[in-house]
Amino acid sequence: MLDRRLLPRRCRILLTGVFGPFGVDDEYGRKENLMELFHNQVTKAQGAASFRFHHRSFGLYFLAANVDGDVTVLDFPSRARFIRELHRGYDVVGISFIAPNFAKAREMARLARIHAPLAHIVLGGHGAAIEGIERLVDCDHVVRGEGIRAFRKFLRQDPDAPIVHPVLPSSERESIFGVPLLGKCASLLVPGVGCVNGCRFCCTSHFFGRRYTPYLATGRELFETACRIADARGTDDFFVMDENFLKDRTRAFELLALMERHRRYFGFQIFSSAEAITAFGLDNLVRLGVSFVWIGVESSTRQGNYPKNEGIDARTLVQSLRDRGISVLASGILCDEHHTPESIQAEIDFMIGLEADMVQFMLLTPLPVTTLYRDLERRGLLRDDLPWEEWHGQKELSWHHPVLAGDAPQRWLDHAFRREHEANSSSVLRVIDTALCGFRRLAATRGRDACLEHRLQSLARRVRDWSPVLAELEVHGVNALERTRARALARAVADAIGRPGIRGHALRAAVRACATAWRARVHLVGDAIQPRTIVTRFPADRTGRCPIEAVPTRTQTPAPMPIAHAAAASLTPP
């Protein structure tokens, strides 16, 4: 193990995610572990109608922007590209990974010892929570929990120095039906890390010590940060990476007041618990500009649920949000300890009956550091025969279930996604319907103020931008029900927003053509989409300079931005 006291004051640092290809069966990974959040866990059964995009390893960019050194971030590399980068000569190689990518992290550490023998190897991300990781992977240091403070300490730098928030897109290569989504994607906004709710299965909450560490502690800090990012990227829309954004109501209300005072109306896609949403108020969400919310519904039963959902009628909440133009992703847990074949079907029916825009079904998976993991470990129920590559929650259980064994969990999971799609139609159709409902509701309101007028126009744009895909669903919907719904929704959109002109008809034809080409591509080579390698270099002396980003097919420049509140990020992939 190398002595960190030998590190130079200003290091050359490589921060990297694991190598691809992703979502394939090989010695390092499994086909179920896709590098796509939605296509892997939410719209996976929806075929060409599935939402397709990649998310960067956001934590790496936060680390790079917050240490004093010459830093390179290598995102989505190939194995060969990683080896080539090692030969540039680094003092520190940081590898971020999750548990299912354990074998890739171990191989990267081995390669770093060969090709950069003088470099200090640092492990981070949720995979660093694996017990005894120091013995399992050849490394010199492990970063757990909030990464900026820990990494600064490792480098013998001031852990309490001001934090810098990098300007980043929230996603890469957005498409649906093979059609690339035009315009700028939403920017990333990270108000803080962790969650005080501490649900026993939640690795994010436990990873940060079951507490919340704010990056942006006040509404003013949020507003000023959003203004700077929006001006840098040219879009007022944000994907908010915060486990429970509305939990701090005071901060959210201050943000709303500043937006209305300055007439700067941002749009937000958020995660929040049901109790936090109801406490903030649904109409306030409309004013705040929330267009999407991810809610952990978890279970229909008291036995399988959590305090955050007590006293909440989930279906009423979902429908009330959708009526206001706010799309809902509701997540539920399958194969809990109390589930039987009869009760798990009732759970699936409950989630389908919510009629949310999207539904995530996940197998109960006890990841290291969680209360669930400790409990099952104490009771001797964890499986020691299952490699970490299988701990992705999409196939086998990583623990011994009293009833549901073998391939039963995967069969139930596949059944749930397929049945939800058939009953409620494609998520994109529901998203359009939700936006139209919100538009109608606001359009019927007399005496709208400037804020609500802006929200009305945003909903109209969302309907117009998404409605061309209905032409594809009218012909190639999953069943007769969806095809009928698509035709009816297209008529409703025309009545409310106006009939498509020449441009609208051209867009519908373009969608049909792209969808036809995508189906041919899927037939020939499958639907896998590998993310492009992104290399971003943060020069050591960044005063007045921007990091330089190189992508094989394009170049962007994410500028750093100071944040007043000093907090820390984790070395964690999305």
Q: Are 550 and 558 in contact (CB under 8 A)?
A: no
Rounded CA gap, 176 and 31, in Å? Answer: 21
Report which of 97, 302, 306 is spatially closest to residue 195, judged by C-alpha positions.
306
Cβ–Cβ contacts within 10 Å for residue 138, how many? 14
For residue 345, what are its two tokens?
């079907």
Residue 269 pLDDT > 70: yes
For residue 186, pLDDT beyond 80: yes
Question: Does the structural domain 7-165+529-563 have CATH classification 3.40.50?
Answer: yes
Q: Domain residues of the chain, as ranges?
A: 7-165+529-563, 172-423, 436-525
User: How many Cα atoms within 13 Å fall on the side-chain side of residue 42?
Assistant: 23
pLDDT interval class at 335 (50, 70, 90): very high
Q: Which residue is listed with tokens 């909903």?
A: 459
CB 190 within 8 A of CB 270: no
In the predicted structure, residue 559 carries a pLDDT above the cut 80: no
Distance CA(207)–CA(128), nearest Å, equals: 10
Is residue 445 scored above 90 in pLDDT? no
Cis peptide bond upstream of 166, omega within 30 = no
Structure-token match 């409605």, residue found: 467
DSSP output for 17-48: ---B--S--BTTB-TT--S-HHHHHTSTTSGG
pLDDT at 101 over 60: yes
What per-residue confidence (pLDDT) applies to 304? 87
Q: What is the pLDDT of residue 446?
A: 74
Q: Which whole number is the average pLDDT over 498-502?
A: 87
pLDDT digits (tens, 9 = 90+) for 398-437: 999 999 999 999 999 999 999 999 999 999 999 999 999 9
φ, ψ (nearest 5 deg) of residue 108: -65, -40
CATH topology of domain 172-423: pyruvate-formate lyase- activating enzyme (3.80.30)
Residue 9 pLDDT > 80: no
Residue 137: pLDDT over 60: yes
- Both tokens of 136, joined, read 């399992």
Report the 10 Å Cβ neighbour count for 189: 26
Amino acid in position 344: I
Provide CB contacts within 8 A for 547, sequence distance 6+: 64, 65, 166, 536, 537, 538, 539, 557, 558, 559, 560
Q: What is the pLDDT of residues 360-380, one digit of tens each?
A: 999 999 999 999 999 999 999
Examine the pLDDT at 10 and tell me if it is beyond 70.
Answer: yes
Which pairing describes strands 163-166 and 560-563: parallel, antiparallel, or unpaired? antiparallel
pLDDT surpasses 50 at 543: no
Share of the chain above pLDDT 90, in %: 84
Output the pLDDT for position 302. 86
Q: Vertex 343, ends 341 and 344: CA angle to 5°?
A: 65
Per the prediction, the chain carries an average pLDDT of: 91
* Phi and psi, residue 480, nearest 5°: -60, -35
Percent of the chain at pLDDT exceeding 70:
94
Cβ proximity of 218 and 251 under 8 Å: yes
pLDDT tens figures, 156-176: 999 999 888 899 999 998 999
What pLDDT, on a 0 to 100 scale, did the predictor assign at position 546?
Answer: 61
Token pair in block for residue 161 = 């120095």
Task: Work out whether the CA dihedral 165, 168, 170, 172 comes out positive or negative.
Answer: negative
Q: What is the pLDDT confidence band of residue 564, given thresholds at 50, 70 and 90?
A: very low
For the CA atoms of the chain, what is the radius of gyration?
Answer: 23
298 phi/psi in degrees, rounded to 5: 70, -60
For range 351-364, the mean pLDDT: 97
Q: How far is CA 341 from the centre of its chain?
A: 31
Q: Does 179 have pLDDT greater than 90? A: no
Report pTM. 0.92
C-alpha triplet 568, 298, 424: angle, nearest 5°: 115
The pLDDT of residue 551: 55
Q: What is the pLDDT of residue 571?
A: 39
Sign of CA dihedral 481, 486, 489, 495: negative
